[in-house]
A = this chain, B = another copy of it.
Amino acid sequence: MSETTQHHDSEYDPAASSLQGQVDPELMQELLHIRSSIDNIDAALLNMLAERFKCTQRVGWLKARHQLPASDPGRETAQIARLHRLAEEAHLDPVFAEKFLNFIIDEVIRHHEAISETHAAESNR
């Protein structure tokens, strides 16, 4: 109820919609029902991503400490092939799955560069 922060202190309204009052209430109920599933899935996705970054942070730290190259092409090729297969099993567009992996990897590389810089700064002290 406090108004000290701009966007994440206010109560979440799962029924927030620009369509409220403009569509049939029964249709609105159906939309909200599906959206509550989407909200649950988004929370699961975010927590899974947080766990994945915990893993890659640890990999980044190991790589920095042992001066290993940031990328591992052998690993990446195997990962992409596996993801294609998993995507097909889940009836997901494999092209999208690969784009998704690349999106995550871009963020991982950003983290690894930060870790590597921190490690270098500490070593040069």
Instruction: Name A residues whose Cβ lies closer than 8 Å to a Cβ of B.
Output: 7-8, 10, 12-14, 16-20, 23-24, 27, 30-31, 34-35, 37-39, 41-53, 55-56, 58-59, 62, 66, 68-69, 72-75, 77-88, 90-92, 94, 96-97, 100-101, 103, 107
Contacts A7-B81, A81-B12: A52 and B38 contacting too (C-beta < 8 A)?
yes
Interface of A is mostly: helix
**In the complex, the 7 A-B pairs of residues with the closest C-beta atoms, listed nearest first:** A16-B78, A50-B90, A18-B74, A8-B85, A12-B82, A8-B84, A41-B52
**A85 surroundings in chain B (CB, below 8 A):** 8, 12
Highest count of chain B CB atoms <10 Å: which of A10, A12, A45, A84? A45
**A59 surroundings in chain B (CB, below 8 A):** 31, 34-35, 38
**A50 surroundings in chain B (CB, below 8 A):** 87, 90-92
